[in-house]
């Protein structure tokens, strides 16, 4: 299995991974809900591979010679969602790299901040792998804003300012909540109240994951 820089794969309607060998958990929540922190804890304790759609996009925009760099940069600055084909391709390439290193061809992935739109969800499930479920960190907007402004003092991230934060909230509610609702209608969502302390959120996350996955975890 090879990473592919091309967006149009001739086998585009066949998932390249079987969910019996590759476990995918989507991790969603508004900006500042604590997704990255909780994913880091799960990687430490359960040996997941953490793929952040945002980190992959930020790395790609800085990669010398990237054909998508300028496009990604402009979308992130405006708080808009990068075209679906780009994000799905970057995730697929990263997953292929991990699975190819495992002799048994298996992998366990937490995909953080994805899918953020319905077209991303449908494209990924159709061409890459069917996800087990969405881990949804549910946090009030005021708390997320407080966390992001605090982080912006030290993060250096161009989107940790009040104008970008407001745009990101709006984008999340309008485009990502329908994704959560779609998976919820299929009984494929684990909802975690995320306004508690990091430790409390993690304890509940582990408990619900163990109930859902059992030995697969």
pLDDT 10s digits, 67-76: 899 999 998 8
Rounded mean pLDDT of the chain? 89
34 annotated to a ligand binding site: yes
Residue 106: CB partners within 8 Å, gap ≥ 6?
21, 22, 99
Distance between CA atoms of residues 42 and 206, nearest Å: 8
**C-alpha triplet 139, 185, 215: angle, nearest 5°:** 80
80 annotated to a ligand binding site: yes
Express the helix, strand and coil content of the chain in percent, nearest 5 each: 55, 15, 35
What tokens were used for 140? Answer: 């009030």
Among 57, 77, 82, 80, residue whose Cα is nearest residue 159: 77
Using DSSP, how many helices (H) and how many strands (E) does the chain show? 9, 5
Distance between CA atoms of residues 198 and 175, nearest Å: 26
Q: Is 63 left (phi over 0), alpha (psi -120 to 50) or beta?
A: beta
32 annotated to a ligand binding site: yes
Q: Say how far residue 154 (Cα) sits from the centre of its chain.
A: 23
pLDDT 10s digits, 94-153: 999 999 999 999 999 999 989 989 999 999 999 999 999 999 999 988 888 888 888 777
Residue 40 confidence (pLDDT) above 60: yes
Residue 196: CB partners within 8 Å, gap ≥ 6?
204
33 annotated to a ligand binding site: yes
Distance between CA atoms of residues 30 and 21, nearest Å: 30
Distance between CA atoms of residues 203 and 185, nearest Å: 26
189 annotated to a ligand binding site: no
36 annotated to a ligand binding site: yes
Q: Which residues pair with 179 in a beta bridge?
A: none
Going through 162-203 in order, the beta strands assigned E by DSSP cover: 189-193
pLDDT 10s digits, 183-198: 999 999 999 999 999 9
For residue 169, the tally of other CB atoms under 10 A from its CB is 18
Structural domains of the chain sorted by starting position, each given as residue range(s) with its CATH number in brackets: 22-206 (3.40.50.300)
Whether this prediction's pTM lies above 0.95 is answered by no
93, HSE (Cβ side, Cα atoms, 13 Å)? 16
């Amino acid at each position: 299995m090879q990473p592919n820089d091309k967006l149009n794969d001739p086998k585009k309607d066949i998932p390249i991974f079987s969910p019996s060998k590759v476990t995918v958990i989507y991790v969603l929540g508004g900006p500042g809900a604590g997704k990255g922190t909780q994913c880091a804890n799960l990687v430490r304790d359960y040996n997941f591979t953490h793929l952040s759609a945002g980190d992959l996009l930020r790395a790609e925009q800085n990669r010398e010679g990237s054909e998508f760099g300028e496009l990604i940069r402009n979308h992130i600055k405006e708080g808009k969602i990068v075209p679906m084909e780009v994000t799905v391709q970057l995730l697929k390439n990263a997953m292929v790299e991990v699975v190819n290193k495992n002799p048994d061809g298996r992998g366990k992935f937490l995909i953080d901040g994805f899918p953020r739109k319905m077209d991303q969800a449908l494209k990924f499930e159709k061409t890459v792998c069917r996800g087990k479920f969405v881990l949804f960190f549910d946090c009030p907007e005021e708390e997320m804003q407080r966390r992001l402004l605090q982080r912006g003092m030290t993060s250096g991230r161009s989107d940790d300012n009040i104008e970008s934060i407001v745009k990101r909230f709006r984008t999340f509610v309008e485009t990502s909540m329908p994704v959560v609702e779609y998976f919820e209608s299929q009984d494929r969502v684990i909802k975690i109240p995320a306004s508690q302390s990091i430790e409390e959120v993690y304890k509940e996350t582990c408990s619900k994951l163990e109930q859902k996955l059992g030995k697969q975890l």
